[in-house]
Structure 1
Amino acid sequence: MGICKLDHTSEDVQKKYETQSHLLPSNIRETFMDWLGRNPTQLELNEVFHLLKKYDLITDEERGKRDLELAQILLKKEETGR
């Protein structure tokens, strides 16, 4: 993903998720709100926002790549207990 100079709020990320959630795999949908409730870092919020951005317009191959990145971010804090 490209570097963005804007910091996205948790509300921005949640709204972006809501517009794309119907396309996301179940493992991401099942963990997203828990992840958001664990106070992700600004960097994580920005990364997730950009992974979700234009998700509906990308190829299946690109979706697969983004799904892996999203899963890694969403599950990271769960595994470390943060």
Structure 2
Amino acid sequence: MGECKLDHSVQDVIQKLKSQKEFMPPQLYKGCEAWLQTNPTQLQLNDVFHLLKKYDLASVEEQEQRNKALEGIVYG
């Protein structure tokens, strides 16, 4: 993912997550929702936001890579 100078709030990430819900595996979506309640760091929020950004436009292979990265962050 490219470097971004913007810090994304929890609310930004929630909105981005909701916008990608129909394209994500249900368990991963639920895991992300629960993770957002755990007081994530700013770096984690930024990383998750960028993994979710344009998720719906990514190829299946790219989505699988993003899923693995999200799982690594969300499930530690």
Please state which band the TM-score falls in when normalised by the shorter chain.
over 0.9
Residue 9 (structure 2) aligns with = 9
Structure 1 residues 3-82: aligned runs within 5 Å: 3-76=3-76
Deviation at 1:32? 1.4
Task: List structure 1 runs of 4+ shifted beyond 2 angstroms.
Answer: none
Q: Secondary structure at the match of 1:3?
A: coil
Moved more, 29-38 or 10-19: 29-38
> Identity across aligned pairs (percent)?
47
Deviation at 1:10? 0.2
Give the superposed CA RMSD.
0.7
The number of residues matched between the two structures is 76
**Separation of aligned partners in 2, 1:40 and 1:29:** 16
Segments of structure 1 that go 5 or more residues without pairing to the other structure are 77-82
Segments of structure 2 that go 5 or more residues without pairing to the other structure are none
Deviation at 1:24? 0.8
Deviation at 1:26? 2.4
Q: Secondary structure at the match of 2:6?
A: coil
Deviation at 1:39? 0.4
Deviation at 1:25? 1.1
- So what's the TM-score if we normalise by structure 2? 0.95
